[in-house]
Amino acid sequence: MKPMNVGLLGIGTVGGGTWTVLSRNAEEITRRAGRPIRITAVADRNTELAAKVTGGAARITADAFELVRDPEIDIVVELIGGYTIAKDLVLAAIENGKHVVTANKALLAVHGKEIFAAAQAKGVTVAFEAAVAGGIPIIKALREGLSANRIEWIAGIINGTTNFILSEMRDKGLPFADVLKQAQALGYAEADPTFDIEGVDAAHKITLMSAMAFGIPVQFDKAYIEGITKLEATDIKYAEQLGYRIKLLGIARRRDAGIELRVHPTLIPTKRLIANVEGAMNAVLVQADAVGATLYYGKGAGAEPTASAVIADLVDVTRLATASVEHRVPALAFQADQLVDLPILPIEEVQTAYYLRMRVEDKTGVLADITRILADGAISIDAMLQKEPGEGESQTDIILLTHVAIEGQVNAAITRIEDLATVVGKVTKIRLEELN
């Protein structure tokens, strides 16, 4: 059969990996896809690098728009990143009747509604396995493998940078700032790590997964996002003593009133497999009604792991290219006219358990005052850790773990606790998920 001609936008780390894997495994990929898949054109501002990587085996251009208009190109692979030029190129590719494969989670999380609608109107596919969790085939699992199930919740470690930092903080007892510098030196963190450490990258990914899990529109603007920059090594240590580990989780959960969509540091019991995902690795835990819990683990970034996902999409698009639109697997798992507009719940309505740490004066009645305030807010205590004051000290830490409570009620209780004369400074609050 006629080869599928691919135009590659960007030949940096992932683009280079895609070229390498596609070339190395060409015979195997052809056998799977039913026809050859070949990159015939590459657009990159660094034309010298593109020529070096491809060895003259593809046409090189610095004009990405010229590539997406090329009538000989069947599939455009967008690996540029960002919200602006990438959006224009993807929409131009769709307008020109090209299928699109992208690793750009930020683009789809922010502009997904417009892009998926445009693709539907033109009868082309937008595939994005590489946009979430690198080489882990979680998109395929949500879109197809779990299609018999009513998905109840997803919880994922979906940013390798933050997972590396939290692992190092726990293992070495170092403060966040020191470990961030180490992560940058090792190449695990960008020079500007804001999107990673503030939770934005993870929020892009959990937004896409929530749309696929629950059949709702992509709604990144309604996600609650909290990063790891304010975490202290003290809390990581106390969590360990209580049998928990702190991870940055992306969580999407179905509730009667709507959908919880949130990213934040979370205590997880150490006995859970996902709590033991270390370093820069990723993992996604999905709870569904028929199959129960399924865990997907692997490398969430890197040239060849991400290229693996890009090429898997190329194979899928190639297999389905001749199928009519109504016979293709929907990009967001549900048929486009079957999406439901469930509300994304504000963080004040989220229901979860909590870790609370407060610095208090070592005086009689302090704990009684605190527990009375919590009881007034219908917040019950699951476990407690009270440290003895150091020699010559008059203050100590009290750590409480609560049962599941409503966030707004917990926040109101914290405000009252902080007003107590015996409580020093602010109360530290970290959400807790049992994931069972």
Active-site amino acid positions: 205
- Helix 366-376 / helix 407-418 crossing angle, nearest 10 deg: 150
* b (16+ CB within 10 A) / e for 50-75: bbebbeeebbbbeebbebbebeebbb
Distance in Å from the first CA to the final CA of the chain:
49
CB 209 within 8 A of CB 143: no
Distances (CA, A) of 405 to 104, 152, 306, 353, 415: 36, 19, 39, 6, 16
b/e burial code for range 133-161 (CB count within 10 A of at least 16 → b) = bbbbbbbbbbbeebeebebbbbbbbbbbb
Note the Cα 352 to chain centre separation in Å: 20
**Quick check: helix, strand or coil at residue 173?**
coil
